[in-house]
Structure 1
Amino acid sequence: MEFSEPQVILFVGDCERAAAFYARLGFAETFRSPDDAPVKIEMALGGFMLGLALPGPAAESHGLEPVTAGDRACLTLWTDDADGAFARAVEAGGTPRRSPHAFRDVLRVAFVNDPDGHPVQLVQRVA
């Protein structure tokens, strides 16, 4: 038995709105279902797969109990410019959570919430 193509799925209120946000951060759409008013959109960035799914259909189809509030997960994106990434994420519709700051003398870190409230950590290695 082998496993392949891991994917993290975030439950969102609007798949297209969430996909537009992540597209502005460099993700490319690879799948949507259905084409009109999607209940799931999949996106990729550097081999990482991200699914954006409506919680209702996931509960109905698969018997899940999606959690839709609070810090359910944190997506980390490494970058060469934490300040620029923070500005881009806010411009794309993210809500500032913590502005870029030094962390452990070797990193610069910032946080935004995506349009559905999921924290996105933006991390830069510094000399």
Structure 2
Amino acid sequence: MKVLCPCGSGKEFEHCCAPFLTGTAIAPDAEALMRSRYSAYTLGDEAYLRVTWDVRTCPAERIVHDDPTQWLGLEVKKYALDTGKTDSATVEFVARYKIGGRAHRLHEVSRFSREDGKWFYVDGNFPTKDDKKRKDK
């Protein structure tokens, strides 16, 4: 039975994020890493989230909680290498989920860095309506 990848790529899981989660391949770019991290959240894969998080910013407390989060989908809005750099990038995305029957959305602009050929999540910020207004001016 074919299972689509939770990351929303439209590809089969085994040909998309599964090789990254199992360690048989490394994400070729920051967008692929971000998608695989989303898949890890949907699967509750704490270990993968930790090994793909920059050690300088990775929290000591648990990343995946035992709450009844139902992940609904991921939309990548923008992926870009930072200007003049090949080892840092940003990915803007919206992740939708439900907790206790109530829908939520997480809109984040995440920063990634590459060290020794591997991409790592550094941190992210949450754009506001004011950010969009400033950008549109």
Give TM class, smaller chain.
Answer: under 0.3
Report which structure shows greater RCO (CA 8 Å, sep ≥6). Answer: 1
What TM-score, normalized to structure 2? 0.26
What TM-score, normalized to structure 1? 0.27
